[in-house]
């Protein structure tokens, strides 16, 4: 199995978990915070989507599907406290954008050799790891870390545990 195939496999679990955790939540549910001063799911989804876009384009500029105008500016540290649903997107929007960005990541990943994946990552995204492959693999960890908070939200809403 190539490194790209292995990384692709690691991205399948967070995609499944995120999809299942969101499946029975409403748009309004996305604004429940796991705990006081923690980010609500709507903000986290936007953050994750724009982060995946940013990470891959730092390594391969112009390789990812575009995001809606102003999207990245809506999901900054400064906007995390915002509670106004009108300033965010719908669950359907997030799911579509998530899928588009993930497909973009997988398309880029599929064209990379093991040698290319072992090349040094750009300094701007090296917090995910030292190599190009680590940037792609880091998406799995990033999405799962946030999805873990959604399990708490689900329990607050009286939803059953899924995993």
Domain boundaries, the chain: 3-156
d(CA 35, CA 37): 6
pLDDT (tens digit per residue) in 38-86? 999 999 999 999 999 999 999 999 999 999 999 999 999 999 999 999 9
**99-125 confidence digits (pLDDT tens):** 999 999 999 999 999 999 999 999 999
Q: Map residue 148 onto helix, strand or coil.
A: helix
Strand partners, 131: 120
Print burial letters for 95-127: b (CB count within 10 Å at least 16), e (below 16): bebbebbbebbeebbeebeeeebeeebeeebee
CATH architecture of the domain with residue range 3-156? Up-down Bundle (1.20)
Residue in the structure block whose two tokens are 């719908």: 90
Name which of 125, 113, 86, 115 is nearest 5 in CA terms.
113
* R_g over Cα of the chain: 16
């Amino acid at each position: 199995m190539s490194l790209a195939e292995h990384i692709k496999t690691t991205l399948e679990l967070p995609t499944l978990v995120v999809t299942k955790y969101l499946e029975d939540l409403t748009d309004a549910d996305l604004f429940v915070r796991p705990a006081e001063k923690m980010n609500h799911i709507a903000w986290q989804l936007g953050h994750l989507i724009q982060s995946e876009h940013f990470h891959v384009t730092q390594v391969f500029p112009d390789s990812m599907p575009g995001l809606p105008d102003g999207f990245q500016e809506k999901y900054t540290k400064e906007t995390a406290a915002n509670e106004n649903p009108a300033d965010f997107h719908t669950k359907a929007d997030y799911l579509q954008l998530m899928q588009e960005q993930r497909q973009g990541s997988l398309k880029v990943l599929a064209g990379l050799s093991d040698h290319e994946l072992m090349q040094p990552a750009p300094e701007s995204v090296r917090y995910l790891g030292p190599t190009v492959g680590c940037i792609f693999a880091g998406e799995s960890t990033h999405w799962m870390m946030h999805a873990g908070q959604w399990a708490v939200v689900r329990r607050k809403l009286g939803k059953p545990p899924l995993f």
